[in-house]
């Protein structure tokens, strides 16, 4: 895949870039290693000052970087600006909290005495250069939620971004440099996916994090396992959105639309499977379908656009194949289902019902504004349908019954359960999944400790 900015609204190639050669990659690996040796000794106060500066610069650049993101991957420009704001918030959060999150810990006094020590501490130390393989769908946020904690912990970052967002990738390197981080603290590697394996095998790279497809995750995990290196993987999801009879149906339907079509439906944590109790199925479906039909699809640079194009022609073709497979197997199309006859890689908000386990869309992630509706007879069947997926990233539950909430929290196989609201990542809460959605956690204290050497320091009596 060429490293290029291709406007998904019209298919026009705007900029192309040469992939870095072996000599440049080697130079950057040397720089990362050398920089880490000194950067790891900086204080939290020094790192926080630079991180806060980067957040301030990002706020200043919001309009321009929002336009770049929209041009590169098609998200509505209002959402692009909101993404920049969210990133600045996370950077400030880690600047403020990193020191306390990584403070030395004192084990229980009776364990210290039992070990024969006079004192024992647990200390968090940085690992070194961390390789981040990141996707295009949230081209700022996916990177910042890795970079902010990694840099605040004293690590240095190497970014291999998706090949269709090179301008955003280069902006990120420049942002940290302008904020006062030395050149080797955060570097963008303009490389194709074929170069990742060799970099991950390099002894100077100590760990890796990847957000992306299952095949990409397996490849990185396999190499990292062979090299015995730590990895964090977030590999997508097909999140359930369960609606029970006690829910506020009007509000649930309104939020369901946002939860499905945010970022043009191209979000790992977007709700994708809508599982509705039979007592309220008809009422929910009517409201949901009407609202999906009413969404404005069009030019993502316009302020009133709600759904822009998909990021690539291949992405749209993959989505169409899922819908067509379901339709051939008997699914009913309640709205959408046909690409519009105009330039760009657009696909309309679509709702399918009558889904069976044999259909691909029941098992595979629909990365675009396509929702599947399921009818559940009771709570047990709702849980059964929700868990009948290879993914387990997050989940949404709508009920006012606390006993039902307890059941869902206990039984849903997911990294998050959001009650009467839609899944959203926040710097203070751990983010990640189970099953084929990956392993490890980003954000919060859990995220910043993923790439730390957790060291026991024992002092004799």
By annotation, the residues acting in catalysis are: 234, 268
Contacts of 186 (CB under 8 A, 6+ apart): 147, 151, 156, 157, 159, 172, 173, 176, 177
Torsion of CA 199, 203, 204, 208, to 10 degrees: 60
Pull the structure tokens for residue 458. Answer: 């024992």
8 Å CB contact between 12 and 6 = yes
Q: How far is CA 429 from the centre of its chain?
A: 13
Please tell me the distance from the alpha carbon of residue 36 to that of residue 181, in angstroms, as a whole number.
12
Bridge-based pairing state of the strands 370-376 and 350-353: parallel
8 Å CB contact between 328 and 355 = no
Of 154, 42, 44, 52, the C-alpha closest to 99 is 44
8 Å CB contact between 208 and 83 = no
Count of CB atoms situated within 10 Å of the CB of 40: 15
8 Å CB contact between 404 and 426 = no
Please tell me the distance from the alpha carbon of residue 214 to that of residue 220, in angstroms, as a whole number.
10
259-282 burial, b at 16+ Cβ within 10 Å, e below that, comes to bbbbbbbbbbbbbbbbbbbeebbe
408-422 burial, b at 16+ Cβ within 10 Å, e below that, comes to beeebbbbbbbeeeb
* Angle CA 90–239–367, to nearest 5: 85
Whole-Å CA distances, 354 to 65, 288, 330, 403: 42, 16, 7, 29
């Amino acid at each position: 895949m060429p490293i290029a900015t291709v406007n998904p609204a019209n298919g026009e190639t705007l900029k192309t870039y040469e992939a870095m050669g072996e000599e440049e990659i080697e130079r950057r690996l040397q720089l990362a290693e050398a920089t880490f040796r000194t950067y790891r000794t900086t204080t939290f106060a020094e790192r926080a000052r630079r991180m806060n500066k980067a957040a301030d610069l990002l706020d200043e650049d919001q309009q321009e970087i929002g336009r770049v993101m929209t041009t590169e991957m098609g998200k509505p420009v209002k959402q692009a600006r909101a993404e920049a704001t969210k990133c600045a918030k996370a950077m400030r959060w880690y600047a403020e909290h990193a020191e306390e999150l990584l403070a030395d810990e004192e084990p229980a006094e009776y364990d210290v005495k039992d070990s024969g020590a006079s004192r024992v501490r647990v200390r968090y130390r940085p690992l070194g250069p961390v390789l981040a393989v990141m996707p295009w769908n949230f081209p700022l946020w996916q990177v910042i939620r890795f970079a902010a904690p990694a840099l605040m912990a004293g690590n240095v970052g190497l970014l291999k971004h998706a090949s269709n967002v090179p301008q955003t990738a280069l902006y990120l390197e420049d942002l940290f440099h302008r904020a006062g981080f030395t050149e080797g603290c955060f570097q963008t590697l303009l490389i194709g996916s074929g170069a990742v394996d060799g970099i991950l095998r390099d002894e100077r790279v100590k760990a890796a994090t990847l957000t992306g497809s299952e095949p990409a995750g397996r490849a990185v995990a396999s190499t990292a396992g062979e090299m015995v290196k730590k990895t964090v993987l977030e590999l997508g999801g097909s999140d359930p959105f369960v609606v029970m009879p006690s829910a506020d149906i009007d509000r649930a339907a309104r939020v369901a639309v946002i939860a499905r079509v945010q970022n043009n439906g191209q979000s790992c944590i977007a709700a994708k499977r809508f599982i509705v109790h039979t007592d309220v199925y008809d009422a929910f479906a009517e409201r949901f379908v009407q609202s999906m039909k009413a969404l404005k699809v069009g030019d993502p640079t316009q302020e009133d656009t709600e759904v822009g194009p998909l990021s690539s022609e291949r992405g749209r073709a993959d989505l169409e194949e899922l819908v067509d497979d379901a339709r051939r197997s008997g699914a009913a199309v309640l709205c959408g289902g046909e690409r519009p006859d105009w330039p760009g890689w657009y696909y309309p908000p679509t709702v399918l019902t009558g889904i069976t386990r044999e259909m691909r869309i029941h098992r595979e992630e629909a990365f675009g504004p396509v929702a599947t509706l399921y009818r559940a007879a009771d709570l047990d069947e709702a849980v059964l349908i929700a868990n009948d997926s290879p993914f387990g990233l997050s989940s949404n539950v709508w009920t006012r019954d606390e006993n039902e909430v307890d059941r869902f929290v206990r039984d849903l196989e997911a990294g998050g359960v959001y009650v009467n609201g839609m899944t959203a990542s926040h710097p203070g809460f751990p983010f990640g999944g189970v099953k084929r959605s990956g392993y490890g956690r980003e954000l919060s204290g859990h995220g910043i400790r993923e790439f730390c050497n957790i060291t026991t320091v024992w002092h004799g009596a």
